[in-house]
């Protein structure tokens, strides 16, 4: 009897270990397949013109000959513009919040702000997008801003910056908190005022952590599609700097979303190409940022 029971326990043990291993393999499978298929299909359209030309025009190769493939020139331009604008709003604000939370935030207000920031990282981006739409729309009704800005690269950037701010603030706070108290004390002992200790000593010690957090936030914004569907739904042409920020622009994520739903094979081929570029970009940022973080703080798993 005893033997049977022990045997069964061992069997369960092995079965559970095997199941856990299977879970890991199952999870890696889609990642591997996404990488594999986007390289396989994306590499077919990659060429120099693909990076410089504007998106494809509607053209069905079944009925027309010589359909142009088009490219992602204006999509890259739009994505870069969106990132620059939203980062310009979110990173300074996020870092100021992060400094407050790390240096002065050990009180009830700091606790609630920290909690709110954590909760907000979980609010769906589509909700942020419709809120910004409503905000800009109500503001234009009141005559505060021109109604041209309601659907524009500007409103989309504001929405993306709202998504970024909590991420920047919390990662910045964590990076600052990781700086030892003794470093601060050394600065204070030299007679530096607190603000100089923070801005010169603590921030520069935590620099790589802060930059990493900002990079992760940028990656998150660059991968967003939902706010762009609502606020900045594409443009077949490139952004004209002389015409201001009330234009809409193309962007990598929105172009993929648009092209994949089209009936034209060349658009779908372009969608794979854009996907390959986007995936390389995102994995690059993510891997780089995570490696830098781990090297610095020796996070879990090392």
Partner 1 sequence: METAPVAEGVSRRARPKYRALGDQLFQYITGATTLVVVGLFVLIVVILIQASEPTIRAFGLGFLWGQVWNPNPTTLSPLVFGALPAIYGTLLVAAIGMVLGVPLSLGIAMFLTELSPGLLRGPLSFTIELLAAIPSVVYGLWGRLILVPIMATTVEPFLGSTLGHVPVIAGAFAEPASGYNGYGYLTAGVILAIMVIPTISAITREAFLAVPREQREAALSLGATGWESTRLSVFPYARRGVLGAITLGLGRAVGETIAVVLVIGNTYAISGSLFAPGTTIAAYIANEFGEALTFEKAGLLELGLILLAVSLVINIVARLLVRRGGLRAVGSP
> How many C-alpha atoms does 128 have within 13 Å on its Cβ side?
24
89 binds partner 1 (CB under 8 A): no
Query: Measured in whole angstroms, how far is the alpha carbon of residue 31 from the centre of its chain?
Result: 18
User: Per CB under 8 A, does 219 bind partner 1?
Assistant: yes
Q: Are 58 and 264 within 8 A, CB to CB?
A: yes
Joined tokens for residue 48: 């120099």
Q: How far apart are CA 295 and CA 211, in angstroms?
A: 14
Smallest gap from residue 271 Cβ to partner 1 (A): 6
Judged by CB under 8 A, does residue 130 bind partner 1? yes
> Does residue number 166 form part of the binding site for partner 1 (CB under 8 A)?
yes
Q: Which of 197, 203, 201 is nearest to 91 (CA)?
A: 203
Task: Name which of 211, 213, 107, 227 is nearest 169 in CA terms.
Answer: 213
For residues 67 and 222, which CB has a smaller minimum distance to partner 1 in the complex?
Answer: 222
Q: Can you tell me the distance from the alpha carbon of 172 to that of 203, in angstroms, rounded to the nearest whole number?
A: 9
Rule CB under 8 A: say whether 230 interacts with partner 1.
yes
Nearer to partner 1, 85 or 197 (CB): 197
Chosen residue from 43, 57, 84, 123 binding partner 1 by CB under 8 A: 123
Instruction: Give the residue with the Cβ less far from partner 1, 229 or 245.
Output: 229
What residues from 254 to 283 belong to the interface with partner 1 (CB under 8 A)? Answer: 256-257, 260-261, 268, 271-272, 275, 278-279, 282-283
And the tokens for 163? 């998504």
Residue 43 binds partner 1, judged by CB under 8 A: no
Within 13 Å and on the Cβ side, how many CA atoms surround 53? 15
Residue 7 contacts partner 1 per CB under 8 A: no
| Alpha-carbon span 296 to 142, nearest angstrom | 49
Which of residues 43, 57, 88, 116 is near partner 1 by CB under 8 A? 116
CB of 277 to partner 1, least distance (A): 11
Binding of residue 293 to partner 1 (CB under 8 A): no
Residues numbered 10 to 29 that lie near partner 1 (CB under 8 A) are: 10, 12-13, 16-17, 19-24, 26-28
Pick from 142, 138, 170, 155: which is nearest to 89 by CA? Answer: 155
194 counts as binding partner 1 under rule CB under 8 A: yes
d(CA 84, CA 218) in angstroms, rounded, equals 9
Which CB, 51 or 100, lies closer to partner 1?
Answer: 100
- Distance, in Å, from the CA atom of 264 to the CA atom of 267, rounded to the nearest integer, reads 5
Nearer to partner 1, 107 or 182 (CB): 107
Judged by CB under 8 A, the number of residues near partner 1 is 100
- The residue from 7, 88, 287, 295 that contacts partner 1 (CB under 8 A) is 287
- Contacts of residue 57, defined as CB under 8 A and 6 or more positions apart, other chains included, come to 68, 70, 236
Choose which of 75, 79, 125, 247 interacts with partner 1 (CB under 8 A): 125
Sign of CA dihedral 7, 12, 17, 21: positive
Q: How long a stretch of residues is the chain? A: 302
150 interacts with partner 1 by CB under 8 A = no
User: Least distance to partner 1 from the beta carbon of 292, Å?
Assistant: 13
226 lies in the site for partner 1, by CB under 8 A: yes
Residue nearer to partner 1 on the CB measure, 123 or 236: 123
């Amino acid at each position: 009897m005893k033997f049977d029971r022990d045997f069964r326990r061992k069997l369960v043990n092995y079965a559970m270990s095997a199941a856990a291993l299977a879970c890991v393999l199952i999870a890696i499978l889609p990642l591997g397949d996404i990488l594999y298929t986007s390289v396989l299909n994306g590499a077919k359209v990659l060429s120099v013109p693909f990076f410089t030309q504007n998106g494809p025009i509607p053209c069905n190769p079944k009925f027309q000959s010589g359909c142009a493939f088009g490219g992602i020139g204006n999509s890259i331009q739009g994505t870069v513009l969106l990132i620059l604008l939203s980062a310009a709003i979110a990173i300074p604000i996020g870092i100021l919040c992060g400094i407050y939370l790390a240096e002065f935030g050990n009180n009830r207000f700091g606790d609630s702000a920290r909690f709110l920031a954590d909760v907000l990282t979980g609010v769906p981006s589509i909700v942020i997008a419709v809120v910004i739409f409503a905000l800009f729309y109500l503001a234009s009704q009141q005559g505060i801003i021109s109604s041209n800005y309601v659907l524009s690269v500007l409103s989309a950037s504001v929405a993306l910056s709202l998504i970024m701010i909590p991420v920047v603030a919390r990662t910045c706070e964590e990076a600052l908190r990781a700086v030892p108290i003794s470093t601060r004390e050394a600065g204070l002992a030299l007679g530096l005022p607190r603000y100089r200790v923070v801005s010169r000593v603590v921030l520069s010690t935590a620099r790589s952590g802060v930059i990493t957090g900002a990079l992760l936030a940028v990656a998150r914004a660059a991968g967003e599609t939902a706010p762009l569907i609502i606020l900045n739904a594409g443009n077949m042409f490139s952004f004209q700097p002389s015409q201001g920020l009330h234009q809409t622009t193309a962007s990598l994520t929105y172009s993929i979303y648009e092209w994949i739903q089209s009936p034209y094979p060349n658009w779908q081929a372009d969608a794979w190409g854009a996907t390959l570029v986007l995936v390389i970009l995102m994995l690059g940022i993510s891997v780089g940022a995570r490696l830098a973080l781990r090297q610095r703080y020796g996070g879990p798993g090392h």
